[in-house]
Amino acid sequence: MPPLPLPATKSSSDGASGGSDSRFFTTQKKGEMHELRMELYSTQRSVKVDAVKKVIASMTVGKDVSMLFTDVLNCAQTGNIELKKLVYLYLINYAKSQPELTLLAVNTFVKDANDANPLIRALAVRTMGCIRVDRITEYLCEPLSRALRDEDPYVRKTAAVCVAKLYDIAPQLVEDRGFITTVHDLLSDSNPSVVANAVASLSEIAETSGKDVMNITTSVLQKLLAALNECTEWGQVFILDSLAKYQPNDSREAEGIMERVTPRLQHANSAVVMSAVKVILSYMDCLGPASETTKRTLMRKLTPPLVTLLNSSPEIQYCALRNMNIIVQKFPAILQNEIKCFFCKYNDAIYVKLEKLEILIQLVSESNIDAVLLELKEYATEVDVDFVRKSVNAIGRCAIKLARAAERCIGVLLELIQTKVNYVVQESIIVIKDIFRRYPNKYESIIATLCENLDTLDEPEAKASMVWIIGEYAERIDNADELLDTFLETFEEEDPAVQLQLLTATVKCFLKNPEDTQEMVQRALDMATEESDNPDLRDRGFVYWRLLSTDPEAARAVVLSEKPVIEDDTFKLDPQMLDILVSQIATLSSIYHKPPEAFVVRTYEHHANVIEDEEEEEEEEEYEVPANTEGGSGAVDLLDIGGISLNNRAEAPAPPQQAASNASLDLFGPSSPQQQSNKPPLRLSKVCSADKSAGVEIHAGFR
């Protein structure tokens, strides 16, 4: 048995490989560029590889090594794959800043694209696709065309992705050369990795162009389903996402696809699981009324994989919970019996706990409300203030959602109020106000308990809620006027929300008991209209004053009108939006709960140069505006910002004759045409084009 080799040291000649590459990131001495240039021309391969690694390390930490471009490029003339990869990595990084020099590498790329080694052929095509320089695209077409038909599947799958990259730079060139059709033919390739990359490429092109280039036929569909079991996990994600967008011809075809996709629910990768869930949920609507049994069976199959995701890392849990929130709103039966899985653990991250609370509220029902209330009551005693507030708020939302359980929820809230914990009491009062709105004239017996905690209120929302309760039920509170008087003493110091609510509550109290509260309402109106700087408060004060002084009955009809009953629709999505988000499961849309167009602005790089050129021409374009012939103070452009037009072109100024003839219509013009100003013409330049400012074109200039 041969002896084991000794571990490499820093001075070992083998230090250029393995984990010792970190030595290339150490600070170099002065004159290192000259030394690197000398090493790049070394005849020893190991020295040359180390030199390129040093260049890459310097480039990685932000050091400018572009002056070595031609020296590094010279190292590409080698058969060593490691060295060639390093050189190509350098070329990709500096190609945009050195487009002229990049053309020197074209011959190397073309030569490598015909190499006998498939790894080198694929590397050349991949690198040419990553170099985003317009001038190199025409040289890429021929090698790419050969690579798409290469006998080696590794080269074909690399070329398929390269087509999508080339389309982003030169879409018309890709269409003219027929590359899209060639990639579409790769969907029927015998190698599953090639099929997966072809799907990924066509999906990217479809999103960029807005055209349906996938065009899945029956034969292609069978190829995709066959490749699903053999390709990599990310290839499976691409195929599943493409299947989710496919519209089955009938319910039988939909059932067949879902049956083939169902095994992906057991995959170890959460992305594959969520993509499989998306396919099944997207096809649910394709199943007819006769397939109710199939629907229930599929929903039962979806439950275990979703629950399993809750045992993953906190980050994956959060993403899964955001997706489950959408699923529960659309298909609540899937997780209806698994509510205990959403009970918070002591070591859950706070963002996971908050998402679990949302799903608990979605799934709560009369059959499980007792268990949920017990959990929420426990959460309300934890140390995290934000989580405690959300838990108390969740109890109130449960009361609003379930009428039969409202009394039990209020009982829990009263128990929490008895704890005398300041933030718990205040949040409880806030949610009880909403419960009163939901069930008017039903639970007013607890008002006395709430009034006992007036002294502890220091948050604007809690104060406003308590003031609303006092004003709404003033006839049932013996000392309502005294309680409001207490708040009026600090009226000027209160938050605007509290001031507005206090003004309304005072007017309500006056309308219900005018004899004893006339002085109080007069004082409140005086402070609102004369001492306040808030325009909303002043306007409301004047409205109430006018109503009370002219027609008290009209004021009673307005202020004491019956309020609409509120519902628990917090965080619920619009049905149309819900359908969109279900189709976007396992994407950022399902995390943000927004459609893609709300946060993704697609910019096409192949238009960038044209747009930049047009903007440069527009900025240089100047034209003269005749001197204003109307004179007077009203004719002076005080801001010197020129004209603003909603059209693409600036409107030409009116001729002097027309301006003079319309002088009588010019409210700010001179009294006579003789007062004309002999100012020099104003030269205006376009400072903002219409496409950058929502259709508004702005010109500016100085005299």
Q: Give 475's pLDDT tier (boundaries 50, 70, 90).
A: confident
Residue 581 lies inside a defined structural domain of this protein? no
Q: Give 167's pLDDT tier (boundaries 50, 70, 90).
A: very high
Mean pLDDT value of segment 324-342: 93
Mean pLDDT value of segment 339-345: 94
Can you tell me the distance from the alpha carbon of 655 to that of 626, in angstroms, rounded to the nearest whole number? 9
Residue 570 lies inside a defined structural domain of this protein? no
Residue 621: what pLDDT?
Answer: 45
Residue 591: what pLDDT?
Answer: 95
Residue 224: what pLDDT?
Answer: 93
- In sign, the C-alpha dihedral spanning 367, 370, 375, 377 is positive
pLDDT of 269-289, one tens digit each?
999 999 999 999 999 988 877
Which residues are CB-neighbours of 517 under 8 A, at least 6 positions away?
481, 506, 509, 510
Residue 341 lies inside a defined structural domain of this protein? no
- Residue whose tokens read 């205040």: 426
Q: Give 614's pLDDT tier (boundaries 50, 70, 90).
A: very low
Residue 410: what pLDDT?
Answer: 94
Residue 624 lies inside a defined structural domain of this protein? yes
Residue 701: what pLDDT?
Answer: 56
Least confident of 454-463, 558-567, 615-624: 615-624
Tokens linked to 485: 């008087």
- Bigger pLDDT: 338 or 603? 338
Residue 1: what pLDDT?
Answer: 43
For 700, the enclosing helix (H) or strand (E) is: strand 697-700
Residue 76 lies inside a defined structural domain of this protein? no
Residue 413 lies inside a defined structural domain of this protein? no
pLDDT of 386-425, one tens digit each?
999 999 999 999 999 999 999 999 999 999 999 999 999 9
8 Å CB contact between 301 and 262: yes
Q: Smallest Cα–Cα separation from 143: which of 118, 113, 115?
A: 113
- Bigger pLDDT: 613 or 244? 244
The CA-based diameter of the chain, rounded to the nearest angstrom, is 113
- Bigger pLDDT: 109 or 274? 274
Q: Give 432's pLDDT tier (boundaries 50, 70, 90).
A: very high
Tokens linked to 18: 């393995």
Which residues are CB-neighbours of 254 under 8 A, at least 6 positions away?
248, 283, 286, 287
Per-residue pLDDT at 9 exceeds 60: no
* Mean of per-residue pLDDT scores for the chain: 82
Residue 673 lies inside a defined structural domain of this protein? yes
- pLDDT > 70: percent of the chain: 81
Number of domain units in the chain? 1
Residue 602: what pLDDT?
Answer: 63
The top-scoring range by mean pLDDT among 89-93, 157-161, 645-649 is: 157-161
pLDDT of 521-579, one tens digit each?
999 999 999 988 999 999 999 999 999 998 888 888 888 888 887 877 766 788 899 99
Q: Give 642's pLDDT tier (boundaries 50, 70, 90).
A: very low
pLDDT of 478-505, one tens digit each?
888 888 998 899 899 999 999 999 999 9
Residue 398: what pLDDT?
Answer: 94
Residue 260: what pLDDT?
Answer: 93
Q: Give 31's pLDDT tier (boundaries 50, 70, 90).
A: low
CA 203 from chain center: how many Å? 21
Q: Give 674's pLDDT tier (boundaries 50, 70, 90).
A: very low
Which residues are CB-neighbours of 662 under 8 A, at least 6 positions away?
654
Residue 681: what pLDDT?
Answer: 52
Give long-range contacts, CB 8 A cutoff, 24+ apart: 306-309: 306/277, 306/334, 306/335, 307/335, 307/338, 307/341, 309/270, 309/273, 309/274
Can you tell me the distance from the alpha carbon of 410 to that of 443, in angstroms, rounded to the nearest whole number? 9
Q: Smallest Cα–Cα separation from 323: which of 40, 656, 697, 588?
A: 588
Per-residue pLDDT at 608 exceeds 80: no
Can you tell me the distance from the alpha carbon of 477 to that of 577, in angstroms, rounded to the nearest whole number? 45
- Bigger pLDDT: 385 or 70? 385
Provide the domain limits for residue 638: 605-700
- Residue whose tokens read 């050369």: 177
Can you tell me the distance from the alpha carbon of 191 to that of 187, in angstroms, rounded to the nearest whole number? 9
Q: Rg (Cα) of the chain, in Å, rounded?
A: 36
The number of residues making up the chain comes to: 703
Per-residue pLDDT at 313 exceeds 60: yes
Buried/exposed code over 36-68 (b: 16+ C-beta within 10 A; e: otherwise):
bbebbeeeeeeebbbbbbbbbbbbeeeeebeeb
Tokens linked to 41: 């021309």
- pLDDT > 90: percent of the chain: 49
- Bigger pLDDT: 142 or 135? 142
Mean pLDDT value of segment 444-460: 87
Mean pLDDT value of segment 94-123: 87
Residue 629: what pLDDT?
Answer: 41
Q: Give 469's pLDDT tier (boundaries 50, 70, 90).
A: very high
For 406, the enclosing helix (H) or strand (E) is: helix 406-418
Residue 563: what pLDDT?
Answer: 81
Can you tell me the distance from the alpha carbon of 238 to that of 218, in angstroms, rounded to the nearest whole number? 18
Residue 270: what pLDDT?
Answer: 94
Tell me the CA distances in angstroms from 430 to 238, 453, 509, one per residue in order. Answer: 47, 13, 21
pLDDT of 222-238, one tens digit each?
999 999 989 999 999 99
* pTM of this structure: 0.76
Residue 17: what pLDDT?
Answer: 44
Mean pLDDT value of segment 297-316: 94
8 Å CB contact between 201 and 239: no
8 Å CB contact between 410 and 432: yes
- Residue whose tokens read 């359980």: 405
Residue 685 lies inside a defined structural domain of this protein? yes
For 375, the enclosing helix (H) or strand (E) is: helix 369-379
8 Å CB contact between 666 and 654: no
Can you tell me the distance from the alpha carbon of 361 to that of 348, in angstroms, rounded to the nearest whole number? 18
Mean pLDDT value of segment 140-157: 93
Buried/exposed code over 653-667 (b: 16+ C-beta within 10 A; e: otherwise):
eeeeeebbeeeeeee
Residue 461: what pLDDT?
Answer: 94
Tokens linked to 581: 């988000």
The top-scoring range by mean pLDDT among 291-295, 344-348, 596-600, 659-663 is: 344-348
3-state secondary structure of 681: coil
Can you tell me the distance from the alpha carbon of 64 to that of 82, in angstroms, rounded to the nearest whole number? 23
